Amino acid sequence: EIVLTQSPGTLSLSPGERAVFSCRAPHNIRNDYLAWYQQRPGQAPRLLIYGASSRAPGIPARFSGSGSGTEFTLTISRVEPEDFAVYYCEQYGSPPYTFGQGTRLDI
């Protein structure tokens, strides 16, 4: 099982600032099958990024993903009020698939 480690645990920012989330794996994720999700309170997760860097349909351009192998990053160029939520990474390259523990983006 691939254990994903996300950092930081909580990110405290103001609207308009840049947000950077990290996700690390102990060994290479096959085919860079790494996804990022946003989850707002009381809602189901929403796919933001797949394949480490491909933006899902309908996702604003301020969200971007980068990285390969064992280190991945999600960046929000300028945080909007609706972006305050919890963000998870997931590897879907090698079963059992696994999620990181999440990073909370707080005001």
Partner 1 sequence: QVQLVESGGGVVQPGKSLRLSCVVSGFNLIAYGMHWVRQAPGKGLDWVAVISSDGQTRYYADSVQSRFTISRDTYTNILYLQMDSLRVEDTAVYYCARGGAPDHWGQGTLVTVSS
Please give the residue ranges that form the binding site for partner 1 (CB under 8 A).
Answer: 1, 33, 35, 37, 39, 44-47, 50-51, 56-57, 86, 88, 90, 92, 95-102
CA dist 11 to 32, 37, 59, 80, 99, Å? 25, 16, 21, 14, 18
Q: How far is the CB of 70 from partner 1 (least distance, A)?
A: 18
Nearer to partner 1, 28 or 31 (CB): 31
Rounded to the nearest 10 degrees, how much is the dihedral formed by the CA atoms of 9, 10, 15, 21? -10
Nearer to partner 1, 19 or 86 (CB): 86
Q: How far is the CB of 16 from partner 1 (least distance, A)?
A: 28
CA dist 54 to 8, 49, 57, Å? 23, 5, 9
Nearer to partner 1, 50 or 84 (CB): 50
